[in-house]
């Protein structure tokens, strides 16, 4: 994950985040600005209206000369209309950017996607007619300009001029009048203290697609759904995990202070540190030596929940990219860890992580739902089932989830989670402990999933957790069903944990 290179952000198997690509396309008819002059570009559109194809060209104008605004508009075309993952699309776009522009392109791309629903609503309120679908890049360029105005990172007039210039770079000079009119009107709204979102539906104000907001409202209520939307649209912190055996947190904070890197301890993890500003890991003291890793605070709680001790056989069943595997071995070097992942390429990331930390695990490429293909028959004392999920708890780190995930993805995801749980349970010894984890904030994948598992397996019970984080989940019969963690502004991500003990 490029965003701050956060280990937790990268700690989501691709299977979790891969949405059903290309299912939905932005459909637009004619365009024009409300209250503006008749669109002078309408006649030109017939001569030059090939925006969708032009948006994908990387050979004109010269890539090194493209502005950040033009590059971000093309990035949005690839993610929103073509259903590509942000990681993949951004990697290509950054190769086209000037080195001095790459940080800005990345930041703008993430911010537009985090606030996408609100920006689209604002744009559509400003337009008299939608922008033609074949000129999708222009429609996205308006979003880029609105985000620059909303974020107030520069004078509004400079944002307008830069966006208008980007239209020319992308081969759409016919759209300069439209962009100029729309963005200047938006800037006036801000200057006059108007709230463009005052009439927006609740889902738009929460910056969520309708289906997701409806799910969260059903699970947690409208007020909590709105608060979750605010948290998931915020910029996440870059959080570090201190290995602990050779470096304690207080000492490492002193090291950071000595190198002018501002940081504070995390609220809940005794090993966590939040950086005031994200930076490249190459600048982190002791990162190369494996004494510190980038990992969200909520992900750090795994090692405590597993209650590890020497000589235990431990299975990390969906291990890539290996952040939690590394954390286990650094927390208790005496355990024997088997790390399984279905993807060979992603298993290479596990190996890289372990090598950096100078620890060793048995690595197996296999399907967690089909252990008969790789299990040696000896039971495990501990199992981590960090299963594929909707990743709705980490949307701020992966805002393309909102564009790529669909409501009908949930049923097959839940079926996959149940199959993994059922397949792994026989591998756990009697008296052993399995930790079920997701980075989801949807009840269907979490407490409801565990309740159904307990119903299927009478020899299982969910243990209460004596922790200060999260909200304990219970069913009507009073059974504890784990703890739900909501994302916190300036804090940890959204997560869910259940600790399952075998009779």
Three-state secondary-structure class, residue 483 = strand
Long-range pairs, 47-50, Cβ under 8 A, ≥24:
48/171, 48/172, 48/173, 48/174, 49/132, 49/134, 49/135, 49/174, 50/134, 50/171
Q: CA angle at residue 127 from 122 to 130, to 5 degrees?
A: 105
Name the residue among 363, 367, 325 with its Cα closest to residue 342: 367
Pick from 273, 280, 283: which is nearest to 252 by CA?
273
At a CB cut-off of 8 Å and minimum separation 6, what does 250 contact?
none
Backbone phi, psi, residue 451, to 5°: -60, -45
153: three-class secondary structure by DSSP: coil
**DSSP letter, residue 230:** H
Whether 228 contacts 486, CB under 8 Å: yes
Q: In whole angstroms, give the CA distance from residue 18 to residue 12.
A: 10
Q: Are 400 and 80 in contact (CB under 8 A)?
A: no
Contact 17, 403 (CB under 8 A): no
Q: Is 414 a catalytic residue?
A: no
- DSSP H or E run through 229: helix 222-232
As a dihedral over the C-alpha atoms of residue 271, residue 273, residue 278, residue 281, rounded to 10 degrees, the angle is -40
At 31, give phi and psi (nearest 5°).
Answer: -120, 160
- Pairs from 368-377 (Cβ < 8 Å, separation ≥ 24): 368/317, 368/318, 368/340, 368/342, 368/420, 368/423, 368/424, 369/416, 369/419, 369/420, 369/423, 370/423, 371/423, 371/424, 371/427, 374/340, 375/427
Assign 437 to helix, strand or coil: strand
CB 485 within 8 A of CB 469: yes
Write phi, then psi, for 213 (nearest 5 degrees): -65, -40
Handedness of CA 8, 10, 12, 16 (dihedral sign): positive
Catalytic residue among 318, 389, 414, 439: 439
Cβ atoms of residues 156 and 136 within 8 Å: no
Closest alpha carbon to 314 in 336, 292, 295: 336
Task: Report d(CA 49, CA 25) in Å as an integer.
Answer: 18
Catalytic center residues = 439
């Amino acid at each position: 994950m490029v965003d701050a290179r956060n280990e937790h952000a990268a700690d989501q198997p691709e299977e979790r985040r891969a949405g059903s690509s290309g299912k939905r396309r932005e459909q637009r008819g004619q365009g024009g600005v409300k209250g503006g002059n008749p669109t002078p570009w309408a006649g030109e559109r017939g001569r030059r209206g090939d925006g969708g194809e032009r948006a994908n060209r990387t050979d004109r104008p010269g890539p090194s000369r493209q502005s950040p605004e033009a590059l971000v508009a093309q990035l949005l075309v690839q993610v929103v209309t073509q259903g590509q993952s942000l990681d993949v699309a951004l990697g290509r776009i950054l190769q086209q950017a000037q080195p001095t522009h790459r940080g800005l392109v990345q930041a703008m791309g993430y911010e537009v996607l985090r606030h996408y629903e609100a920006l689209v609503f604002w744009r559509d309120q400003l337009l008299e007619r939608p922008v033609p679908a074949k000129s999708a890049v222009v429609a996205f360029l308006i979003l880029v300009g609105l985000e620059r105005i909303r974020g107030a990172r520069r004078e509004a007039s400079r944002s307008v001029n830069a966006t208008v210039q980007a239209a020319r770079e992308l081969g759409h000079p016919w759209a300069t009048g439209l962009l100029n009119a729309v963005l200047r009107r938006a800037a006036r709204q801000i200057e006059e203290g108007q709230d463009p979102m005052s009439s927006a539906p609740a889902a738009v104000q929460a910056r969520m697609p309708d289906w997701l907001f409806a799910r969260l409202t059903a699970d947690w209520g409208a007020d909590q759904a709105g608060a979750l939307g605010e948290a998931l649209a915020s910029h996440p912190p870059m959080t570090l995990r201190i290995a602990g055996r050779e470096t304690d947190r207080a000492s490492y904070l002193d090291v950071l202070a000595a190198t002018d890197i501002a940081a504070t301890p995390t609220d809940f993890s005794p090993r966590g540190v939040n950086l005031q500003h994200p930076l490249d890991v190459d600048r982190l003291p002791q990162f190369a030596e494996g004494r510190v890793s980038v990992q969200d605070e909520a992900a750090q709680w795994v090692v405590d929940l597993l209650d590890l001790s020497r000589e235990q056989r431990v299975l990390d069943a969906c291990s890539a990219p290996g952040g939690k595997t590394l954390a286990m071995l650094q927390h208790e070097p005496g355990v024997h860890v088997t790390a399984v992942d279905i993807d060979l390429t992603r298993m290479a990331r596990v190996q890289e992580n372990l090598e950096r930390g100078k620890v060793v695990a048995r690595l197996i490429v296999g399907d967690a739902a089909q252990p008969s293909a790789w299990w040696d028959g000896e039971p495990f004392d501990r199992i981590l089932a960090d299963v594929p999920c909707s990743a709705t708890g980490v949307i701020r780190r992966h805002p393309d989830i909102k564009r790529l995930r669909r409501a009908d993805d949930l049923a097959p995801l839940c079926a996959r989670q149940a199959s993994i749980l059922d397949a792994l349970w026989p591998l756990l010894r009697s008296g052993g402990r399995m930790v079920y984890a997701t980075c989801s904030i949807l009840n269907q994948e979490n407490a409801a999933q565990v309740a159904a598992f307990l119903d299927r397996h009478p020899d299982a019970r969910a243990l209460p957790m004596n922790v200060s984080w999260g909200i304990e989940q219970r069913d009507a019969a009073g059974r504890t069903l784990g703890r739900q963690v909501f994302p916190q502004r300036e804090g940890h991500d959204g997560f869910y944990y259940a600790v399952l003990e075998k009779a």
